[in-house]
Amino acid sequence: MAYFRAHIEMLDGYVPGEQPSERDVVKLNTNENPYPPSPRVLEAVHSITGEQLRRYPHPMGQAFRQAAADVLGVRPEMVICGNGMDDLLNMVVRAFSGPEARLVYPSPTYTLYAVLAAIEASLVTEVAFGPEYELPFDDLVAADGRVTFLCNPNSPSGTFVPVERVAELARKVRGVLVVDEAYVDFADENCMRLASELPNVLVLRTLSKGYSLAGMRFGYGVGSPELIEGLVKVKDSYNVDAISIAAATAAMRDQEYARGNWERVRSERERLTGELTGLGFSVLPSQSNFLLASIADPTAESLYESLKARKILVRYFKQPRLDGSLRITVGTPKENDALLAALRELV
Ligand SMILES: Cc1ncc(COP(=O)(O)O)c(C=O)c1O
């Protein structure tokens, strides 16, 4: 007897990157920040009281909302918190798509969009990015989604669509434009101002990457109060917990610390790009904390396996258009050196 609804029975769930239990692995496969979070985050976590845990948290994560509003120059009513950005993506898909409403996005991109859409049995149009990951502007507009997703910088390419172009897209589409800015802290510019300027733009961010809090699970969205009110209707009542609210608030208020790490990652990104290019890889220009590096010989798959045998994990996607590439997270200088030393022997 089949217990699940037919479309869930058929569904291939999302496959997260490997999280090895050994500690001596050079882990460059899931785009975590290689540096620890701000010391203020740990202080905030340590000062949580039993009384705070006894009670439910603020349903909207008010302390974080205020901190984000202060840092970003928006009103608190324009901010919604999530248990990681994945929680917000889930809310968005539940709120805007479905069997009668189309979700549109350029691909290849973050594979969770397709999985969330499939869970909702949503109509979906995937539009291929151009050869150098140029935005397929006209086809995205023509697809006429109730909601359009744009991952910017995109994963797994690391490429960036200029803000003005995103603004044009938002003005052209009839539905909501969701800009996934998971990696934007490592980029030169970002689309945050569009969330205030245009009523159909929702900008989503995470503390997993820029603030070194992937283990904490905290993300947020910024958009017009009308968009935020709609999303609140579909969120879990207490979707962010007292500990993560305190940690994320402390991280957000310590911009100076976070910025220092973004700069370190950006500078290693440039070094790694140069070194990989010198080894014969072709590397897309990246505005994120990872690189998509392609190579024909040896194959990307065999390189992935050989690196893994040496306890260096990178990401390999066995799917059309990506199966000739490795996605490599920018690590600490020492981790990047270990990767480069291995590749010098293997390539
Ligand atoms: C493009 C993109 N969006 C969203 C997320 C989810 O981030 P979070 O850890 O906040 O759920 C990720 C995580 O890898 C990502 O790559």
What percentage of the chain exceeds 70 in pLDDT?
Answer: 100
Tokens, residue 114: 């397709």
| Amino acid 124: pLDDT | 98
Q: What pLDDT digit, counting tens, does each position of 216-266 carry?
A: 999 999 999 999 999 999 999 999 999 999 999 999 999 999 999 999 999
Whose Cα sits closest to atom 2 in ligand 1? Answer: 182
The number of domains in the chain is 2
Rounded Cα–Cα distance for residues 78 and 69 (Å): 8
Instruction: From the CA of 86, give the closest atom in ligand 1.
Output: 11
Name which residue leads in pLDDT, 13 or 161.
161
**Residue 15 in domain:** no
Mean pLDDT of 205-214: 98
| Domain termination site, one of 235, 253, 271 | 253
What percentage of the chain exceeds 90 in pLDDT?
Answer: 95
- How many angstroms separate the alpha carbon of residue 91 from the centre of ligand 1? 14
Mutate to test the pocket of ligand 1, among 80, 92, 155 (most ligand atoms within 8 A of CB): 155
**Residue 294 in domain:** yes
Q: Are residues 165 and 289 in the same domain?
A: no
92 in ligand 1 pocket by Cβ < 6 Å? Answer: no
**Residue 165 in domain:** yes
Q: What pLDDT digit, counting tens, does each position of 16-46 carry?
A: 888 888 888 999 999 999 999 999 999 999 9
**Residue 14 in domain:** no
173 in ligand 1 pocket by Cβ < 6 Å? Answer: no
Instruction: From the CA of 209, give the closest atom in ligand 1.
Output: 9
Q: Are residues 32 and 61 in the same domain?
A: no
- Full residue range of the structural domain in which residue 117 is found: 39-253
Mean model confidence pLDDT for the chain: 97
Q: Are residues 223 and 339 in the same domain?
A: no
CATH code, domain carrying 246:
3.40.640.10
| Amino acid 72: pLDDT | 98
Q: What pLDDT digit, counting tens, does each position of 112-151 carry?
A: 999 999 999 999 999 999 999 999 999 999 999 999 999 9
- How many angstroms separate the alpha carbon of residue 85 from the centre of ligand 1? 6
85 in ligand 1 pocket by Cβ < 6 Å? Answer: yes
Q: How far is CA 183 from CA 22, 213, 300, in A?
A: 26, 13, 24
Residue 49, SS3 per DSSP: coil
Q: Are residues 243 and 283 in the same domain?
A: no
- Residue owning tokens 């990246």: 286
Q: Are residues 215 and 325 in the same domain?
A: no
Confidence of residue 161 (pLDDT cuts 50, 70, 90): very high
Mean pLDDT of 171-176: 98
Tokens, residue 2: 């089949």
Q: Are residues 248 and 269 in the same domain?
A: no
Tokens, residue 73: 């120059």
| Amino acid 1: pLDDT | 64
Q: Are residues 220 and 268 in the same domain?
A: no
Confidence of residue 85 (pLDDT cuts 50, 70, 90): very high
Q: Are residues 150 and 248 in the same domain?
A: yes
Q: Are residues 264 and 181 in the same domain?
A: no
Q: Are residues 57 and 92 in the same domain?
A: yes
The number of beta carbons lying within 10 Å of the beta carbon of residue 167 is: 17
